[in-house]
Amino acid sequence: MAGVNLQSRFLPVARRVAPEARLRGVRRLLGGMSAEITVLELEHPDGRAEGLVVREYGTKNLAADRHPAGTETELLRQLADHGLPVPTPRYADDTGDLLGGPFCVIDFIDADPPPPTWSAAVADQFVELLAQLHRLPPGPALDRLGRYADKVDRWLAAAPEQPDESMRETLIRNRLGAWWPRHNEHPARILHGDIWPGNTLWHGNRMVVAIDWEDAAVGDPRSDLANLRMELVWAYGVDAAEDFTRRYAAARAGELDLDGLPYWDLVAARRPVGRLGEWGLDPRRLDRHLARFQGFVDRALDRIG
């Protein structure tokens, strides 16, 4: 019955995007943190199969943007025009008329998670993705995307009664609180906003697409760099994160000042503070994630001095 109800719910979406096609199947994808993801399986009159992904936005997105579907769709078009590997947008609806809330539709891409082992080939493709993105002027996106710095302002202003000291929260807040008001930003660029290996899809050792752009913002590219550094520590270890950083710095030599990178590492580290237990990790992985996070923060603090 649940499958029938799901089919009925998404049939109007399928008809809006591909009116001649038959909706053969509907399935949920697990793991979306800020959007609910559903795959529609279509069959066209000529027998051709096609997959579509429906992304329904959550309360966090709606609080930041009243028209998240239009914003993300326009951004994907802009990025695709500049040759970035992003999903092809097919439809955007911010009215709520079809599904009760805003959603966008993109092409389904049949690909794999990132390679399990770090290599020069993997490193260079992460470098190419971020370097290409961070060279783009904001253009039309500047009028629609929020400022990344505003998120940091809000976090610093909302100190909890019980800081998460297992994640070094007080240390992070104290260091950032002293530095942030006087920090200097590089010229604003488009940021992915949540760049990590799990937001990329691959064919073997070739990255085919970067996904989940709903947290995109404009701001200092070092925020994306630091976030990926933290995520690479979790996914591949410290050596991989440092290898990536060296390669990114070489690719952007003369374009980017990395002297303040340890502070940006703390900016990235604020994001999972107090939330690690919400990620559904088993106890062993949770302990490993926490230990690697603590090491990431401690190294940043040591470099700051």
Of the chain, the percentage scoring pLDDT greater than 90 comes to: 83
Task: Give tens-digit pLDDT for 61-76.
Answer: 888 889 999 999 999 9
Cβ 74 vs Cβ 139: under 8 Å:
no
Task: Report pLDDT for 140.
Answer: 75
Distance CA 72, CA 227 (A): 20
- CA gap 12, 212 in Å, rounded: 24
User: Helices 221-235 and 238-251 meet at what angle, rounded to 10?
Assistant: 150
Phi, psi for residue 135 in degrees, rounded to 5: -85, -15
Each residue of 122-154: pLDDT tens digit?
Answer: 999 999 999 999 999 877 777 889 999 999 999
Provide mean pLDDT across the span 37-65: 94
Q: Alpha carbon 288 to chain centroid distance?
A: 22
The domains of the chain, with CATH numbers, are 2-107 (3.30.200.20), 120-304 (3.90.1200.10)
H helix count then E strand count, the chain:
10, 9
Task: Please write down the HEC assignment for all residues of 134-157.
Answer: HCCCCHHHHHCCCEHHHHHHHHHH
Cα dist from 238 to 1, 118, 273, 292, whole Å: 48, 11, 19, 8
Answer whether residue 3 shows pLDDT above 60.
Answer: no
Triad 188, 83, 265: Cα angle to 5°: 40
| Per-residue model confidence as pLDDT tens digits over 177-232 | 999 998 988 889 999 999 999 999 999 999 999 999 999 999 999 999 999 999 99
Q: What is the pLDDT of residue 40?
A: 98
Taking all residues of the chain, what is their mean pLDDT, rounded to a whole number? 94
pLDDT, tens digit (0-9, with 9 covering 90-100), for 227-268: 999 999 999 999 999 999 999 999 998 888 898 999 999 999
pLDDT of residue 30: 78
Q: What percentage of the chain reaches a pLDDT higher than 70?
A: 98
How long a stretch of residues is the chain?
A: 305
- Is it the case that residue 1 has pLDDT exceeding 50? no
d(CA 130, CA 126): 6
Q: 16-20, 138-142, 277-281: lowest mean pLDDT where?
A: 138-142
pLDDT at 155 over 70: yes
pLDDT score for 33: 65
